[in-house]
């Protein structure tokens, strides 16, 4: 027997409509590429989103059309999130840090009709223009006064698109499983793969975030997303923030420690979200100034594993660290590590131990670990296995790519994350490595992540990576690659001794290579693929 309740489709546009009615004075503050700071509210944003939606329709945009963005974190990019999907089209965010080849591939694969571009990235498109689809139209995200001279044929001004359009709109009705957004992986193995988010999955993900992180996602809190809007929905903040009344502080293109400190200090940011490399830069600035930015009480770290030293340093200064984990294919949030209240009385070191894990699942995400044969393993915190997930916010396949989709799902329909992990009896997930980053030496497995976390505790280390290099006797051996801090140069033996205190002798890398900087992927993670290519013959 079915229940007798109305069925209304979950739609992304309803989030901004709700914010405009319930939290009309909630702020959106943006550092603009034009050089100034822009301030607006959810009430005003809803009006501009309606104008933009009408403007898109005037350009002939239809439901299902892919509309691309190449932009920083700012209010115009936020408006595009809602206007595009609100009329039934698909918001395709492009990562500007991708290689030219990858960018050309995904624009072509997605069959984008329009491409909205920030001033900063106009030169990129000008260089690629001859190779882009001939019918692709460009809209430059600025006003008439700042409109640049450009070789992009027929380039249109963003503000002209809104000018004269109505500030209200009756959002169209369509099924909640209609596509709302498209985001491609960075393609470290093979071509980039597209994840196609639905209205239903996006709204459910926003609800899940608000339920899971209620101390941060609440009315009046000011959050700075350093995680970019062009990468996996800025971890869901553009949808969860208006739903919960959070004010958003967008940093634009200036993501160095000094610029972030000044912005956070000036805007009284309480919580900031980003990858570990960003927080190392901010910590250096905090150390130099001898204080935290005013109001800072929380950071969310994701994208790659946070080291114990990073968590410990912020926590010792009174800043709560929420270590989170997820994937593009998961919308993206899978787990978060704000500790339950019963752990408040734990000793400091015990709390840091817990916070170093990836935390517990968010509502709607199921997890399991299995062995090589696909047999489920116990959640005892000791037995590692391949991590699989399922849920309403997790992809069921890659966009127009059956070949890439088939290998990543098991017979029960669970998605393979590619991570090796343990799950303990309290539900805490601990990712021990990416399956491709495990090192098999003499038949025994070595976790590169464990070694990196130990090395990062050395005060002279700014960043590091451990990779496998070929070895005639042992098949593979670990190589430690270190980026030292500017004011310190650790010695090899110091690092060997540090590791020897914590791991077995055979797990200690054979050598340490010092570099000026580590190569990063398009999403700000250390590119181990690049490092393996660079150091392939290191042990030969």
Identified catalytic residue from 79, 312, 329, 538: 329
Residue 317 DSSP symbol? T
Q: Name which residue leads in pLDDT, 504 or 17.
A: 17
SS3 of 254-305: CCCHHHHHHHHHHHCCCEEEECHHHHHHHHHHHHHHCCCCCCCCEEEECCCC
What confidence tier does 540 reach under pLDDT thresholds 50, 70, 90? very low
Torsion of CA 313, 314, 317, 320, to 10 degrees: -140
Structure tokens at 93: 């965010």
- What is the gyration radius of the CA atoms in the chain, in angstroms? 23
pLDDT tens per residue across span 249-296: 999 999 999 999 999 999 999 999 998 889 989 999 999 999 999 999
End-to-end alpha-carbon separation of the chain, Å? 69
pLDDT tens per residue across span 445-474: 788 888 998 999 999 999 999 998 988 778
- What's the pTM? 0.87
Q: Looking at the predicted structure, is the pLDDT value of residue 3 above 80?
A: yes
Torsion of CA 181, 121, 96, 141, to 10 degrees: -20
What is the per-residue DSSP string for 169-225?
A: --PPP--TTSEEEEEE---SSSS--EEEEEHHHHHHHHHHHHHH-TTTSSTT-EEEE
Q: Give me the pLDDT at residue 190, please.
A: 66
Identified catalytic residue from 21, 440, 444, 533: 440
Identified catalytic residue from 111, 268, 445, 506: 445
Pairing of strands 37-41, 27-31: antiparallel
Q: Is 445 a catalytic residue?
A: yes
Q: Looking at the predicted structure, is the pLDDT value of residue 537 above 70?
A: no
Q: Give me the pLDDT at residue 376, please.
A: 97
Structural domains in the chain, CATH included, are 13-207 (3.40.50.12780), 365-435 (2.30.38.10), 438-534 (3.30.300.30)
Pairing of strands 194-198, 320-326: unpaired
Q: Is 414 a catalytic residue?
A: no
Q: Looking at the predicted structure, is the pLDDT value of residue 188 above 60?
A: no
Residue 91 DSSP symbol? E
What confidence tier does 187 reach under pLDDT thresholds 50, 70, 90? low
Mean pLDDT of 520-530: 81
Q: Is 395 a catalytic residue?
A: no
Share of the chain above pLDDT 90, in %: 82
Unique residue bearing structure tokens 């609100």: 86
Cα distance between residue 238 and residue 224, in whole Å: 11
Residues 6+ apart with CB under 8 A from 382: 422
Cα distance between residue 295 and residue 367, in whole Å: 36
Kindly tell me the sign of the dihedral angle through the C-alpha atoms of 348, 353, 356, 362.
Answer: negative
- Three-class SS of residue 391? strand
Of the candidates 83, 220, 103, the residue with the CA atom closest to the CA atom of residue 162: 83
Identified catalytic residue from 185, 212, 395, 521: 185
What confidence tier does 533 reach under pLDDT thresholds 50, 70, 90? confident
Structure tokens at 80: 């595009």
Cα distance between residue 333 and residue 98, in whole Å: 22
pLDDT tens per residue across span 105-136: 999 999 999 999 999 999 999 999 999 999 99
pLDDT tens per residue across span 45-90: 999 999 999 999 999 999 999 999 999 999 999 999 999 999 999 9
Mean pLDDT of 205-218: 96
């Amino acid at each position: 027997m079915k229940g007798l309740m109305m069925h209304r489709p979950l739609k992304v546009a309803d989030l901004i409509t709700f914010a405009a009615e319930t939290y009309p004075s909630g702020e959106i503050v943006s550092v603009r590429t034009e050089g100034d700071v822009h301030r607006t509210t959810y009430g005003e944003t809803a009006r501009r989103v309606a104008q933009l939606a009408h403007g898109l329709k005037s350009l002939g945009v239809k439901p299902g059309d892919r509309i691309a963005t190449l932009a920083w974190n700012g209010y115009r990019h936020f408006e595009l999130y809602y206007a595009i999907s609100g009329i039934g089209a698909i918001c395709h965010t492009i990562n500007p840090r991708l290689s030219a080849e990858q960018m050309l591939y995904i624009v072509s694969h997605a069959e984008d009709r329009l491409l909205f571009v920030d001033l900063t990235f106009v030169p990129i498109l000008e260089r690629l223009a001859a190779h882009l689809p001939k019918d692709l139209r460009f809209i430059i995200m600025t006003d008439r006064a700042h409109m640049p001279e450009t070789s992009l044929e027929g380039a249109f001004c963003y503000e002209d698109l809104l000018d004269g359009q109505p500030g209200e709109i009756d959002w169209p009705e369509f099924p909640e499983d209609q596509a709302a957004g498209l985001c491609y992986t960075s393609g470290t193995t093979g071509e980039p793969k597209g994840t196609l988010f639905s209205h239903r999955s996006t709204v459910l993900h926003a609800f899940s975030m608000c339920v899971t992180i209620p101390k941060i996602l609440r009315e009046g809190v000011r959050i700075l997303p350093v995680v970019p809007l062009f990468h996996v929905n800025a971890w869901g903040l553009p949808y969860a923030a208006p739903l919960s009344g959070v004010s958003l502080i967008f940093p634009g293109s200036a993501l160095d420690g000094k610029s972030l400190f000044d912005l956070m200090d000036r805007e009284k940011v309480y919580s900031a979200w980003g990858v570990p490399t960003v927080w190392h830069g901010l910590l250096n600035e905090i150390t130099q100034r001898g204080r935290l930015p005013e109001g800072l009480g929380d950071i969310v770290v994701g994208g790659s594993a946070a080291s114990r030293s990073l968590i410990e340093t912020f926590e010792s200064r009174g800043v709560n660290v929420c270590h989170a984990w997820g994937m593009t294919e998961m919308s993206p949030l899978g787990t978060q590590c704000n500790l339950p209240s019963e752990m408040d009385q734990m000793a400091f070191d015990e709390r840091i131990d817990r916070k170093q894990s990836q935390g517990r699942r968010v509502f709607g995400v199921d997890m399991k670990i299995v062995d090589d044969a696909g047999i489920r393993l116990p959640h005892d915190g000791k037995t590692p296995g391949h991590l699989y997930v399922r849920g309403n916010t997790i992809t069921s396949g890659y966009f127009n790519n059956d070949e890439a989709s088939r290998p990543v799902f098991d017979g029960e329909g669970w998605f393979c994350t590619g991570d090796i992990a343990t799950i303990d009896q309290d539900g805490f997930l601990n990712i021990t490595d990416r399956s491709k980053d495990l090192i098999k030496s003499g038949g025994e497995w070595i976790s590169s992540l464990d070694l990196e976390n130990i090395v990062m505790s050395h005060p002279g280390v700014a960043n590091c990576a451990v990779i496998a290099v070929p070895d005639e006797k042992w098949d593979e051996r670990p190589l430690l690659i270190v980026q030292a801090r500017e004011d310190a140069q650790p010695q090899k033996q110091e690092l060997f001794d540090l590791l020897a205190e914590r791991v077995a002798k055979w797990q200690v890398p054979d050598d340490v290579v010092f570099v000026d900087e580590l190569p990063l992927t398009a999403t700000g993670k250390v590119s181990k693929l690049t490092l393996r290519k660079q150091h392939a013959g290191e042990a030969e």
